[in-house]
Amino acid sequence: MSATQQEPRFAQFKLVLLGESAVGKSSIVHRFVKDSFDDFRESTIGAAFLTQTIQLDENTTIKFEIWDTAGQERYKSLAPMYYRNANAAVVVYDITQEASLERAKSWIKELQRQANQDLVIALAGNKLDLESERKVAKEAAQAYATEEGLLFFEVSAKTGQGVKEIFQSIAEKLPLESQIKSKSQPKSVNLQRPSTNNQSSCCS
Amino acid sequence: MDEEYDVIVLGTGLTECVLSGLLSVEGKKVLHIDRQDYYGGESASLNLQQLYEKFKPGKEVDASLGRSRDYCVDLIPKFLMANGELTNILVHTNVTRYVEFKQIDGSFVFRYGKPSKVPATEYEAVTSSLIGLFEKRRLKNFLQWVANYKEDDVATHKGLKLDIDTTDAVYNKFGLEEGTKNFIGHAMALYDNDEYLQQPAREAVERVVLYCQSVARYGKSPYLYPLYGLGELPQGFSRLSAIYGGTFMLSTKVEQVLYDEAGVFQGVKLSLDGEEHVVKAPQVIADPTYFPEKVSSSEKVIRTISIVDQLPLKNGETSAQIILTGKETGRKNDIYIALIGSEHKVAPQGKNIAIVSSIIEGDKPPHIQLESAFKLLGIKAFDRTFMGLSDLFAPIEDGSKDNVYISKSYDATSHFESVTEDVKDIYFRVTGKPLKLTKLEEGEFNAQA
Ligand SMILES: Nc1nc2c(ncn2[C@@H]2O[C@H](COP(=O)(O)OP(=O)(O)OP(=O)(O)O)[C@@H](O)[C@H]2O)c(=O)[nH]1
Ligand SMILES: [Mg+2]
């Protein structure tokens, strides 16, 4: 249907970040959304989620609604609501911490068990700028990712290397058509809409 | 982990999570613990597997019911009043961003052997088959009086004093018949027995107003319900708390509660990965299960959960509340039926959840007490029905002596108004000031690529 392809298309997706504490999840989001990095990052107080749009091609815009864990994963206390209805997940490990890859693998298992069938999962090894302290071989992680059918990247939130590519590749892999269609599903009510009635309109 | 907090919260039921969220937003340092590995405590929604484990341990899950994870079954059925206080709190804290709501299709009352729609507008009242011709006029007059009542305009009071006159006296002023009184009190004001008739009328009038305004807000019924079940609510508020710095620890056992010589709360001892930690805070908020010695129980609620294929509704409604008033069933307390299904994503296509609840009366077995509800639902065998009895606990003291603030169990009412009252009350006792909701700034920032 070449005719419809000319029309501007817009789709919104929920993307969640997962991974052990301190691997750099928040830093990756901040690099992507604000193009900044902080050596002494503290959790973003009050951020429900961050949003960022990507221009996929001339007439396709994708908006990511990016959910950070807000630290609830620290004591293995992440609420299932977090990954409910997620379209994409970036599971992060730290290339200088072997145990963080193991933790990433268990998150991936959990996602495959609990989340959407067509969830796009990317595995990202962060802190690539610390090459001299590397403990996780690229080949090993890559092989695991291929076996599980995941996107795979090594990145550095500090230098920015590879960060945009994660989101770009995810955007390309997302099922755009179904998302645009599903917009027409029966609507839920909007609670934020101010109430139009007052007492005098009650029962009359 | 850190050792000093402003407040420790035990249990992740809705009351605890709302308080945790509100206090974190204010900048309090909150540590929130649950002994279980899931959020929600009594207000969780369970999948099929968990439901069987809880109510029919050792029994194999009926495979014909479909996938376990397609079920989100509430242990405690309640709906949100569209204009109620919980809606208000959700809107002000932006927790609406995590939880989607849909309307409940209808609100019904069981009369003359069948469910009939509860009229909530004047128009519906005068066309309803529930009410006789002359009575319609009187009901209309009553509803108009309620709608026009203004505290500071004595002319609108029609000589009635809400803090002195009983509800029954107010009804009588409008010449309402027993059946209509029953209907207003139970189906609109949502009282589950008749004790309110002899109380001052203010509360009943406020409840009728809330009902009508809630219907007016979205139509159909006064009720809203979250997609994926009520268990989403505590999760949403816990995320709010975490975003504002709250620390969450599930699957964490409280080994010991620490008090000083005067019996004032000091902190708790907990074990984390096999290691013992002492965490301190001047105050603790907890659900009744964490302090069994500090609570008492006066009533028991029976709640039964059934998985049904068909709903006893005529006009294609996929969700509803049905009230069987005590008058109809010969009981003191009403029976509530909550019906929800795949539309609200709590069951797979073609399956529905029917939750029946009431206060236990006398010593007849529960399924006999709820007989009329099962008959209405067409339930004859109980292999797809899960039954639970729960005590309604309330704290014995108000926490001013020991700094232990305990929430009440979730009662038999069909909505959250009593839960939010408890939230406000505990908030006041913990902080010393009344809860004032101010709209939170959007905690989000945007950037263009
Ligand atoms: N050298 C280097 N340090 C990084 C990089 N990314 C993050 N960090 C540092 O790692 C620490 C943790 O980063 P965060 O982004 O807070 O990690 P997180 O995964 O969000 O941690 P939690 O919120 O506790 O789960 C911070 O001190 C960052 O400055 C990176 O690419 N290179
Ligand atoms: Mg973080």
HEC assignment per residue over chain B: CCCECCEEEECCCHHHHHHHHHHHHCCCCEEEECCCCCCCHHHCEECHHHHHHHHCCCCCCCHHHCCHHHCCEECCCCEEECCCHHHHHHHHHCHHHCCCEEECCEEEEEECCEEEECCCCHHHHHHCCCCCHHHHHHHHHHHHHHHHCCCCCHHHHCCCCCCCCEHHHHHHHCCCCHHHHHHHHHHHCCCCCHHHHHCECHHHHHHHHHHHHHHHHHCCCCEEEECCCCCHHHHHHHHHHHHCCCEEECCCEEEEEEECCCCCEEEEEEEECCEEEEEECCEEEECHHHCHHHEEEEEEEEEEEEEECCCCCCCCCCCEEEEECHHHHCCCCCEEEEEEEHHHCCCCCCCEEEEEEEECCCCCCHHHHCHHHHHHHCCCCCCCEEEEEEEEEEECCCCCCCCEEECCCCCCCCECHHHHHHHHHHHHHHHCCCCCCCCCCCCCCEECC
A190: nearest CA partner in chain B = B101
Distance CA B81, CA B190 (A): 11
Q: How far is the CA of A93 from the centre of ligand 1 (A)?
A: 10
Residue nearest to atom 13 of ligand 1 (CA): A24
B205 and B169 share a domain? yes
**Reduced to 3 states, what is the DSSP secondary structure of residue A1?**
coil
Is B413 a member of any domain? yes
Q: How far is CA A75 from the centre of its chain?
A: 21
Is B265 a member of any domain? yes
Q: Which residue has 């620490």 as its token pair?
A: B258
- Model confidence at A168, pLDDT cuts 50, 70, 90, reads very high
pLDDT at B363: 87
Q: In what order do the strands lie in the sheet with B385-395?
A: B114-117, B106-111, B320-324, B335-341, B352-359, B295-308, B385-395
| Confidence check: pLDDT of A199 > 50 | no
**Reduced to 3 states, what is the DSSP secondary structure of residue A53?**
strand
CATH number, domain at B409?
Answer: 3.50.50.60
Is B215 a member of any domain? yes
Residues of A in contact with B445 (CB under 8 A): 33-34, 47, 50
Is A198 a member of any domain? no
Q: How far is the CA of A97 from the centre of ligand 1 (A)?
A: 12
Domain count, chain A: 1
pLDDT at A44: 63
Distance CA B55, CA B71 (A): 15
A47 lines ligand 1 (CB under 6 A): no
DSSP classification of residue A115: S
Distance CA B438, CA B109 (A): 37
| Confidence check: pLDDT of B447 > 70 | no
- Model confidence at B340, pLDDT cuts 50, 70, 90, reads very high
Q: Which of A81, A88, A123 is nearest to A104 (CA)?
A: A123
pLDDT at B30: 98
Is A22 a member of any domain? yes
| Average predicted confidence (pLDDT) for chain B | 92
Q: Which of B17, B33, B15 is nearest to B25 (CA)?
A: B17
CATH number, domain at B132?
Answer: 1.10.405.10
Q: How far is the CA of B388 from the centre of ligand 2 (A)?
A: 40
Closest CA of chain B from A127, distance in Å: 23
Helix/strand/coil (H, E, C) string of B375-395? Answer: HHHCCCCCCCEEEEEEEEEEE
Give A25-62 pLDDT, tens digit per residue.
999 999 999 998 988 766 666 777 899 999 988 888 99
pLDDT at B449: 29
Give A103-114 pLDDT, tens digit per residue.
999 999 999 988
* Domain residue limits at B151: 119-220
Enumerate residues 6+ apart whose C-beta is below 8 A from A40.
none
Residues of A in contact with B217 (CB under 8 A): 195-197
Between the CA of residue A32 and those of A52, A66, A158, B178, B448, what are the distances in Å?
8, 10, 11, 66, 10
Is A188 a member of any domain? no
Instruction: Give contacts of A 5-64 with B, CB under 8 A.
Output: 33-35, 43, 45-55
User: Which of A64-78, A174-188, B289-303, B420-434 has the least mean pLDDT?
Assistant: A174-188
Q: How far is the CA of A99 from the centre of ligand 2 (A)?
A: 18
**Reduced to 3 states, what is the DSSP secondary structure of residue A126?**
strand
Give B428-445 pLDDT, tens digit per residue.
999 999 999 877 765 443
Continuous segment of H or E residues that includes residue A125: strand A120-126
**Reduced to 3 states, what is the DSSP secondary structure of residue A182?**
helix
Q: Vertex B255, ends B249 and B259: CA angle to 5°?
A: 105
Q: Which of B186, B427, B449, B429 is nearest to B321 (CA)?
A: B186
Q: Which of A46, A190, A81 is nearest to B234 (CA)?
A: A81
The residue among B185, B220, B255 that closes a domain is B220
Structure tokens at A178: 């179904």
Give B73-119 pLDDT, tens digit per residue.
999 999 999 999 999 999 999 999 899 999 999 999 987 777 888 87
Q: Which of B215, B224, B217, B230 is nearest to B103 (CA)?
A: B224
What's the rounded mean pLDDT across residues A124-140? 98
| Confidence check: pLDDT of B448 > 50 | no
B93 and B212 share a domain? no
The residue type of B350 is G
pLDDT at A143: 98
Structure tokens at B422: 């408890």
B211 and B124 share a domain? yes
Is B190 a member of any domain? yes
pLDDT at A29: 94
B279 and B407 share a domain? yes
Distance CA B79, CA A107 (A): 34
B252 and B187 share a domain? no
Strand pairing partners for B306? Answer: B354, B385
Task: Return the ligand number nearest the Cα of A29.
Answer: 1
Give B178-211 pLDDT, tens digit per residue.
988 998 999 899 998 999 999 999 999 999 999 9
CATH number, domain at A131?
Answer: 3.40.50.300
Between the CA of residue A30 and those of A33, A189, B2, B14, B241, what are the distances in Å?
5, 32, 26, 32, 21
A96 lines ligand 1 (CB under 6 A): no
Give B263-278 pLDDT, tens digit per residue.
999 999 998 888 899 9
Give A152-163 pLDDT, tens digit per residue.
999 999 999 999
Is A182 a member of any domain? no
Is A196 a member of any domain? no
Distance CA B155, CA B148 (A): 10
Is the Cβ–Cβ distance between B381 and B49 less than 8 Å? Answer: no
Is B76 a member of any domain? yes
Distance CA A38, CA A30 (A): 9
Is B81 a member of any domain? yes
ipTM comes to 0.88
Distance CA B229, CA B343 (A): 11
Between the CA of residue B90 and those of B42, B86, B233, B435, what are the distances in Å?
20, 6, 9, 14
User: Would you call B169 an interface residue with chain A, using a CB distance cutoff of 8 Å?
Assistant: no
B126 and B216 share a domain? yes
A26 lines ligand 1 (CB under 6 A): yes
Structure tokens at B196: 């309110």
Is B350 a member of any domain? no
The residue among B220, B236, B263 that closes a domain is B220
| Confidence check: pLDDT of A189 > 90 | no
Domain count, chain B: 2
pTM, two decimal places: 0.92
Is A45 a member of any domain? yes
Distance CA B181, CA B131 (A): 11
* Domain residue limits at A14: 9-177
Give B118-166 pLDDT, tens digit per residue.
876 667 776 777 777 788 889 889 988 998 999 999 999 999 999 999 9
Residue nearest to atom 3 of ligand 1 (CA): A127
Distance CA B387, CA B322 (A): 19
**Reduced to 3 states, what is the DSSP secondary structure of residue A92?**
strand
Is B385 a member of any domain? no
| Phi and psi torsions of A150, nearest 5° | -105, 155
pLDDT at A202: 45
B60 and B149 share a domain? no
B244 and B213 share a domain? no
What's the rounded mean pLDDT across residues A13-23? 94
pLDDT at B174: 95
| Confidence check: pLDDT of B216 > 80 | yes
B131 and B214 share a domain? yes
B133 and B257 share a domain? no
B176 and B45 share a domain? no
Q: Which of B57, B10, B4 is nearest to B28 (CA)?
A: B4
Q: In what order do the strands lie in the sheet with B223-226?
A: B80-81, B223-226, B101-103
pLDDT at A4: 52
